[in-house]
C-alpha cells in the first residue's frame, strides 16, 4: 500500500483518538502499518460519531454515511473520496466490509439511552465492535484461526468497556446489566477467561498478527483489577497499560 497524505491523516487520527492502537500499529511492518492506520482511523471516526452531537437523527446520519461507504466497498464499485474512506477501500475486502458494516450498526446503541436487553445483547455488541475490528486487523497482517482472535477481541472489548463505564454513566447510558460489585467482577472475569482461551489458541495465529491482538494484552491489568476491586471501575481508577504489555509488545507475544 503506497503511503499518501490520506494515510498521514489516518495515522494522525489514530494517534489522537486511539493511542493504544497507534502504538500497536507501529509494531507492524510499514506496508501493513499503513493498512492498520486506515482501519483504525475508520474505527475512531465511527466510534465518536454518536457522541459529536446531541441530535439522535444527526448521529444516525453520521453512522449511515459510513454504512454507505462500506456498501460501496462491498459492491466493488467506486468509493466516495474521503481521507479515511479512500485508503480503507484499498485495505478491506467485500466480506470484511460487510463485517465492518455490522460494527457500524452496533454503534447505534451509543446514540440512545436504552439498556442492553440481556447478556447476549451485550456480548453481541462487544463482538461486533471489538471482535470484528480485531479479526479484520489480524486478517490484514497474516493467517489466523478466527476463534482465538475473537476471544482476544472479547478480552480487549470488555477491558475497554470497563474503562468507559464512568463516562458512559455520566452521559446517561446504562452500560452494565448488573452494576453490583459481583456483576462487575463477573464481567471482568469473563474477559480474563476470553484472554486465556485466546492464548491457548496462539499456535493457530501467525506471529505477524501479533500487533492486532496486543490490545487484548493491554486490557489484562484493568481486567484483573476490576475482578478483584470492582469499585475501582465506577470510580474510574482502573490501571493504565503496564510493564507486562510493554514487554509483550517488544517480543510481539500477546
Answer yes or no: do 17 and 42 share one domain.
yes
- Per-residue pLDDT of the chain (254 residues), as tens digits, is 678 999 999 999 999 999 999 999 999 998 899 999 999 999 999 999 999 999 999 999 999 999 999 999 999 999 999 999 999 999 999 999 999 999 999 999 999 999 999 999 999 999 999 999 999 999 999 999 999 999 999 999 999 999 999 999 999 999 999 999 999 999 999 999 999 999 999 999 999 999 999 999 999 999 999 999 999 999 999 998 765 676 677 677 89
- 221 CB contacts (<8 Å, ≥6 apart)? 238, 239, 240, 241, 242, 244, 245
Answer yes or no: do 151 and 201 share one domain.
yes
Last residue of a domain, one of 112, 146, 170: 112
Residue 127 DSSP code: I
Answer yes or no: do 158 and 219 share one domain.
yes
Length reported for the chain: 254
Answer yes or no: do 128 and 101 share one domain.
no
CA distances from 60 to 9, 17, 54, 241 (A): 24, 21, 11, 33
Answer yes or no: do 69 and 164 share one domain.
no
Last residue of a domain, one of 90, 112, 134: 112
How many structural domains comprise the chain? 2
167-221: per-residue pLDDT in tens? 999 999 999 999 999 999 999 999 999 999 999 999 999 999 999 999 999 999 9
pLDDT of residue 31: 84
- 171 CB contacts (<8 Å, ≥6 apart)? 51
SS3 252: coil
pLDDT of residue 172: 95
Answer yes or no: do 170 and 190 share one domain.
yes
pTM of the full structure: 0.95
pLDDT of residue 83: 97
Answer yes or no: do 69 and 178 share one domain.
no
Backbone angles phi, psi at 132, to 5 degrees: -65, -40
Question: What's the rounded Cα separation, in Å, for the pair 127 and 117?
Answer: 16
pLDDT of residue 242: 62
Answer yes or no: do 181 and 207 share one domain.
yes
Give first-to-last CA distance, the chain, whole Å.
26
Answer yes or no: do 92 and 214 share one domain.
no
Answer yes or no: do 135 and 248 share one domain.
yes
pLDDT of residue 224: 97
pLDDT of residue 44: 98
pLDDT of residue 251: 76
pLDDT of residue 3: 84
Determine contact, residues 153/160, Cβ cutoff 8 Å.
no
The three three-digit cell numbers of residue 158, written as one number: 470488555
Answer yes or no: do 75 and 148 share one domain.
no
Last residue of a domain, one of 84, 112, 140: 112
109-118: per-residue pLDDT in tens? 999 999 999 9
Answer yes or no: do 94 and 130 share one domain.
no
pLDDT of residue 100: 98
pLDDT of residue 130: 98
Q: Which domain holds residue 76?
A: 1-112
Amino acid at each position: 500500500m503506497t503511503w499518501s497524505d490520506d494515510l498521514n491523516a489516518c495515522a494522525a487520527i489514530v494517534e489522537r483518538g486511539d493511542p493504544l492502537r497507534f502504538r500497536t500499529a507501529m509494531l507492524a511492518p510499514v506496508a501493513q502499518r499503513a493498512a492498520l492506520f486506515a482501519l483504525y482511523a475508520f474505527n475512531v471516526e465511527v466510534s465518536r460519531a454518536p457522541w459529536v452531537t446531541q441530535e439522535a437523527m444527526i448521529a444516525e446520519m453520521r453512522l449511515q454515511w459510513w454504512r454507505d461507504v462500506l456498501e460501496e466497498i462491498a459492491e466493488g464499485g467506486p468509493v466516495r473520496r474521503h481521507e479515511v474512506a479512500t485508503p480503507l477501500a484499498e485495505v478491506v475486502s467485500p466480506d470484511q466490509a460487510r463485517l465492518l458494516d455490522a460494527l457500524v450498526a452496533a454503534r447505534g446503541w451509543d446514540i440512545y439511552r436504552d439498556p442492553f436487553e440481556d447478556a447476549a445483547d451485550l456480548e453481541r455488541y462487544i463482538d461486533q465492535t471489538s471482535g470484528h475490528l480485531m479479526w479484520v486487523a489480524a486478517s490484514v497482517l497474516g493467517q489466523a484461526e478466527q476463534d482465538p482472535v475473537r476471544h482476544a477481541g472479547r478480552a480487549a472489548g470488555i477491558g475497554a468497556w470497563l474503562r468507559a463505564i464512568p463516562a458512559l454513566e455520566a452521559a446517561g447510558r446504562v452500560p452494565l446489566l448488573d452494576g453490583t460489585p459481583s456483576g462487575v467482577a463477573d464481567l471482568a472475569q469473563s474477559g480474563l477467561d476470553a484472554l486465556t482461551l485466546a492464548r491457548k489458541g496462539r499456535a493457530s495465529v501467525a506471529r505477524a498478527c501479533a500487533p492486532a491482538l496486543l490490545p487484548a494484552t493491554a486490557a489484562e491489568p484493568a481486567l484483573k483489577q476490576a475482578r478483584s476491586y470492582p469499585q475501582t471501575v465506577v470510580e474510574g481508577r482502573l490501571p493504565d497499560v503496564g510493564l507486562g504489555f510493554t514487554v509483550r509488545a517488544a517480543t510481539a507475544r500477546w
